Homo-oligomer: A and B are copies of this chain.
Amino acid sequence: MDPVRIAVVGMGKIARDQHLPAIAGDSGFSLAATVSPHDPGVAGVPHHKSLDALLAEGPPVDAVALCTPPQVRYELAAGALKRGVHVFLEKPPGATLAEVAALEARAERVGASLFAGWHSRFAAGVAPARAWLSDRTVKQVSIIWREDVRVWHPGQAWIWEPGGLGVFDPGINALSIATHILPRPFFLKAATLMLPANRAAPIAADLAFCDTAGAPIHMDLDWRQTGPQSWDIIVETDAGTLKLSRGGAVLTLPSGTTHSEDREYAGLYARFSTLIRTGRSDVDTDPLRLVADAFLRGKREQVEAFEE
């Protein structure tokens, strides 16, 4: 079968670090174009300043990967879907839940594939963790996601703006794993969001969830961590403790520890390829819904101003 001709839209850090190498490594795709108002693109690949220009002037594309900030994602996705072009949405899939639902309805109407990609679900330890937990009774869960925003999000002003999620930008990765591996749905009981005096988005958060059998799930999110970083999920069960660390890459079970190489974006593109070739969409908004619930129901506390 011919490779899917794909354009990468929004040439920031995630596009260059992850999407371009994953596309280059997947024979199911060929990079047809790049789009960015500022970035010069990639040598030898057609480049446009806007998606509208690409769609109007070509080269022809079958799919787009949207790697822009979420605040501008809807218009781009709607414009692509309108022409029957398949769409891969980086996480989070949108700035609001309702816009993602509208995109899903539009994709269905035009028969294009829409994929809300959650890269952390493709970390090496996640699938075996999900399998191991599927017939266990969960007693309690602890999610600790503490990183240094200056290291991981340098100069990303949009992340602090309304719709940019703040510390939930990494935190939603943890939620994308937890919603995928835990055997029961869970929902928020209480939350405290800590907002720097000079910012519109939280720099830290403490969240108490509970699953439908009553098991408590505690989540500690902090962007002020210097020194060792933590991206850990610890699940206590009737059969012992499971620990996913390094963002899902390392899995420790009572029987031992497995490390594997990072294949997250290869997994995402393999999935997107399958969706396109089978005419389906995959738009799971559960992680974003939990974040929206935290903003809806959480208590806000002002903390020290954050200067980059």
Q: Which residues of A contact B (CB under 8 A)?
A: 74, 78, 95-99, 101-102, 105-106, 162-163, 185-188, 190-191, 200, 212, 286, 289-293, 295-300
Contacts and interface: CB of A to CB of B under 8 A. Distances in A.
16 contacts: A95-B188, A96-B293, A97-B289, A97-B292, A98-B290, A99-B188, A102-B186, A102-B187, A102-B212, A105-B185, A162-B190, A162-B297, A200-B299, A291-B296, A292-B293, A292-B295
Contacts of A289: 97-98, 101, 292
- SS class, residues of chain A in contact with chain B: helix
Q: Which of A96, A99, A191, A299 has the most B CB atoms < 10 Å from its CB?
A: A96
A250 to B, nearest CB: 28
Contacts of A293: 96-98, 292
A162 B298 contact: yes
A200 to B, nearest CB: 6
A291 B296 CA distance: 8
Contacts of A296: 95-97, 163, 291-292, 295-296
Contacts of A188: 95-96, 98-99
Each complex incorporates copies of this chain amounting to 2
A95 B185 contact: no
A187 B100 CA distance: 9
A105 B184 CA distance: 11
A106 B296 CA distance: 23
A286 B297 CA distance: 17
A102 B185 contact: yes
A175 to B, nearest CB: 10
Given A101-B185, A102-B185, A297 B95 contact: yes
Given A212-B106, A300-B200, A98 B295 contact: no
Q: Which of A74, A102, A186, A190 has the most B CB atoms < 10 Å from its CB?
A: A102
A88 to B, nearest CB: 20
Contacts of A101: 185, 187, 289
A99 B212 CA distance: 9
Nearest to A300: B200
Given A162-B297, A163-B297, A298-B162, A96 B185 contact: no
A188 B185 CA distance: 27
Nearest to A179: B98
A101 B292 CA distance: 14
Contacts of A200: 299-300
A200 B188 CA distance: 17
B298 A98 contact: no
